[in-house]
Amino acid sequence: MPLVSIKNELLRARQGGYAIPLFDTYDMNSTEGMFAAIEERRAPVIAAIYSTWMDFPWIPAYAAYIRARAEKSPVPVTLYLDHGADFEQCMRAISLGFTDVMYDGSKLPVEENMKNTKEIVRAAHAMGISVEAELGHVGQGSEYQDFAAQRKGFTDPELAARFVEETGVDFLAVAIGTAHGVYRGKPQLDLDLLAQIRAAVDVPLVLHGGSGLSEEQFRAAIKGGISKVNVATDLYRTTGRRLVETAQKEDGINYQGLMKAAMDSFQERCGYYLDLFGTTGKAPCQEF
């Protein structure tokens, strides 16, 4: 089916108490592995391109490939800009056929984040595109002990309510104790804070920094109101290890063999998260 905005699926997920993963895929092998996983599990998914990759010259062709590939798939697929840097980048993504965009102004002063988000929401909505923004700031796992472990950057529930109201944003990324990349130390989630944010706003909530949480933490966060979980680092690390193992184990390994290993690794790992988040079986399927 054609690419679709994830908005309806996220509203269904919020209603149904499960979450939809966002996977930052990077190339055809990772994308094909992801497609194999969602098709065998009949699951909706968000395929994302990360902000800093948007300047690569192959991105327009890659976005066109995901669009064409989604059309051949019986499950809903969304093409999403992850951590959009500014208005211009969000608009460029939309011009390339992305169906939803995240604008990340979380490092800016709140009023500036709010002003920029509002501008992007207005333009995106005029084109039928949904927008995610981040309030509070999800930092880096390498700085976990100095930042999130000390509750720095956490989302304020009252401010969240005002932010959603004033910007008209469709989904809100929250900071409740996660971080991007590899965690230094053990991540701790503030589920009470999540409950307060959930009570204060009625848009689907997003958890960034999924790589490194325990299964129990994922389940608790989803039960507590998270409807979208971003996963990237774990996919890359798992697949990196698989490539090294494959190269060492198999005699006469060649480039094609490694590409197949990358695809298989993405298929398995994406499948693992789809099962864990309760996304499996949730696609409103169209036979084709």
Q: Which residue, 44 or 209, is less far from Zn ion as judged by CB?
A: 209
Q: Which is nearer to Zn ion, 94 or 232 (CB)?
A: 232
* CB 186 to Zn ion: min, Å: 19
Least Å distance, CB 158 to Zn ion, is 24
Question: Using CB under 5 A as the criterion, what x/- string covers residues 197-236 for binding Zn ion?
Answer: -----------x---------------------x------
Nearest residue to 129 (alpha-carbon basis) of 166, 78, 88? 78
Measured from the CB atom, the residue of 167 and 230 that comes closer to Zn ion is: 230
Q: Phi and psi for 78 in degrees, rounded to 5?
A: -115, 140
Supply the minimum distance, in Å, between the C-beta of residue 133 and Zn ion. 12
Q: Which is nearer to Zn ion, 116 or 230 (CB)?
A: 230
Distance CA 99, CA 94 (A): 7
- C-alpha–C-alpha distance, residues 274 and 222, integer Å: 13
228 near 171, Cβ under 8 Å?
yes
Per annotation, catalytic residue among 82, 104, 170, 190 = 82
Q: How far is the CB of 40 from Zn ion (least distance, A)?
A: 27
Min dist. Cβ of residue 42 to Zn ion (A): 26
Give residues 149-208 in contact with Zn ion (rule: CB under 5 A). Answer: 208
In the complex with Zn ion, the residue whose CB is nearer, 75 or 177, is: 177
202 is catalytic: no
Provide the Cα torsion 281, 268, 204, 97; round to 10°: -100
| C-beta nearest to Zn ion: residue | 208
Give all strands (DSSP E) within the chain, no chain letters.
20-24, 45-50, 77-84, 100-103, 130-135, 171-174, 205-207, 226-231
Q: Which is nearer to Zn ion, 13 or 48 (CB)?
A: 48
CB-count burial class (<10 Å; 0-12, 13-18, 19+) for 260: middle
Q: Give the CA distances from residue 258 to residues 69, 128, 261, 270, in Å, rounded to whole numbers and listed in that order.
A: 22, 40, 5, 18
Number of residues that bind Zn ion (CB under 5 A): 2
- What residues between 5 and 64 interact with Zn ion by CB under 5 A? none
Reading phi first (left if > 0) and then psi (alpha if -120 to 50, else beta), residue 17 is in left
**What is the widest separation between alpha-carbon atoms in the chain?**
60
- Start-to-end CA distance of the chain, whole Å, equals 9
| Residue 241 tokens, joined | 């290890």
Nearest approach in angstroms of CB 218 to Zn ion is 15
Residues 79-108 that bind Zn ion (CB under 5 A): none
Binding site for Zn ion (CB under 5 A): 208, 230
Query: Where in the sequence numbering do the catalytic residues fall?
Result: 82
